[in-house]
């Protein structure tokens, strides 16, 4: 058995236990396996290794989005059309439960500028502080484990850079700046100035996280299989385009 197969077996055993409702104590072997597996995939993305994609990864859709385009709503609609799970804030809730951390605190640091991660974690949960890298590893571990258990739509959080591209559909959702600011004003009941600042800071934080940990510029359209202008098509049609593209492009894997 190769090192990769061994790691996959450890991860699969752990996930099976969780799906049956068990609440095991953290298994250091499983944690180490997840981190080694994730490191291999990251290295492959950087062109430093030619390891084959791990077995057991289900078809997936990874949605990257600009702030204010309604990515979560679109993912839910696409998930309903495909009959797939949608993993957005659920990943943070799983992290909070596993690592005994407040979901509200994770919400504050999620996909924001990376300096906030150290600041908030370091100040609030010492002496068991969590570094930026540990945060990303833990979140990535949840993505990897989920990929072994079912067909998922991931909203943000670098899923397309962690999972084998041939198993998934990478989607980028965009819209005009004025449209996005208006959407944030309405959804969050913010002033124009506050909504504009929110859009700018959220976009910058997501780009910084992807650049630092995955070494990619998420604004590059060549990273994606499908780019959709939500302002032009609307939420319903954008979701339908994603569902249709997944059913078409991933047909062989969906039927296997």
CATH code of the domain covering residue 221: 3.40.50.300
Confidence of residue 208 (pLDDT cuts 50, 70, 90): confident
- Give residue 93's pLDDT: 62
Number of domains in the chain: 2
Dump pLDDT digits (tens) for 2-29.
Answer: 555 545 555 445 444 444 444 334 445 5
pLDDT at 4: 52
Q: Range of 107's domain?
A: 59-255
Bigger pLDDT: 96 or 241? 241
Q: Are residues 173 and 241 in the same domain?
A: yes
| Range from 21-30, 119-128, 135-144, 207-216 carrying the lowest mean pLDDT | 119-128
Calculate mean pLDDT across residues 169-185. Answer: 98
61 membership: H or E segment, kind and range = strand 60-65
Q: Do 106 and 23 lie in a common domain? A: no
Residues 11, 51: one domain? yes
Which has the closest alpha carbon to 138: 31, 53, 245?
A: 31
Q: How many whole angstroms separate alpha carbon 53 and alpha carbon 104?
A: 35
> Do 49 and 63 reside in the same domain of the chain?
no
pLDDT at 115: 43
> Both 17 and 94 in a single domain?
no
Token code pair at residue 162: 């962690």
Q: What pLDDT sits at residue 96?
A: 58
pLDDT recorded at residue 100:
55
158: region left, alpha or beta (phi > 0 left; psi from -120 to 50 alpha): left
Residue 196 tokens, joined: 């504009």
pLDDT at 214: 87
Q: What is the pLDDT of residue 123?
A: 40
Checking if the pLDDT of 193 tops 90, the result is yes
- Two tokens, residue 217: 């510029």
Mean pLDDT for the chain overall: 75
- In a shared domain, residues 37 and 23: yes
How would you class 18 by CB atoms within 10 Å of its CB: exposed for 0-12, middle for 13-18, buried for 19 or more? middle
Residues 131-169 have pLDDT tens digits of 556 667 777 888 888 888 889 999 988 899 989 999 999
pLDDT at 59: 95
Residues 6+ positions from 128 with CB-CB distance below 8 Å: none
**64: its two tokens:** 């990257």
pLDDT of residue 34: 52
- Does one domain contain both 30 and 154? no
Rounded CA separation 171/164 (Å): 14
């Amino acid at each position: 058995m190769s090192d990769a197969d061994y790691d996959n077996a450890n991860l699969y055993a752990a996930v099976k236990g969780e799906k049956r409702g068990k609440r095991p104590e953290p298994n250091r072997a499983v944690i180490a396996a997840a981190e080694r597996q994730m490191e291999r995939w990251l290295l492959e993305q950087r062109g430093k290794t030619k390891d084959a994609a791990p077995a057991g990864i289900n078809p997936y859709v990874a949605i990257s989005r600009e702030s204010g385009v309604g990515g979560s709503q679109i993912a839910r609609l696409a998930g309903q059309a495909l009959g797939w799970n949608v993993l957005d804030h659920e990943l943070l809730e799983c992290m909070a439960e596993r690592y005994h951390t407040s979901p509200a605190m994770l919400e504050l640091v999620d996909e924001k500028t990376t300096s906030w991660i150290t600041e908030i974690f370091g100040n609030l949960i010492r002496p068991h502080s969590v570094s930026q890298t540990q945060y990303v590893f833990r979140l990535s571990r949840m993505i990897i484990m989920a990929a072994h258990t079912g067909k998922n739509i991931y909203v943000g959080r670098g899923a397309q850079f962690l999972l084998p591209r041939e198993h998934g559909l990478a989607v980028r959702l965009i819209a005009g700046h004025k449209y996005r600011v208006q959407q944030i004003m309405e959804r969050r009941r913010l002033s124009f100035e506050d909504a504009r600042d929110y859009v700018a800071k959220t976009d910058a934080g997501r780009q910084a996280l992807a650049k630092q940990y995955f070494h990619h510029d998420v604004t590059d359209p060549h990273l994606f299989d499908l780019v959709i202008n939500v302002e032009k098509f609307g939420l319903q049609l954008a979701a339908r385009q994603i569902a249709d593209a997944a059913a078409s492009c991933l047909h062989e894997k969906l039927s296997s």
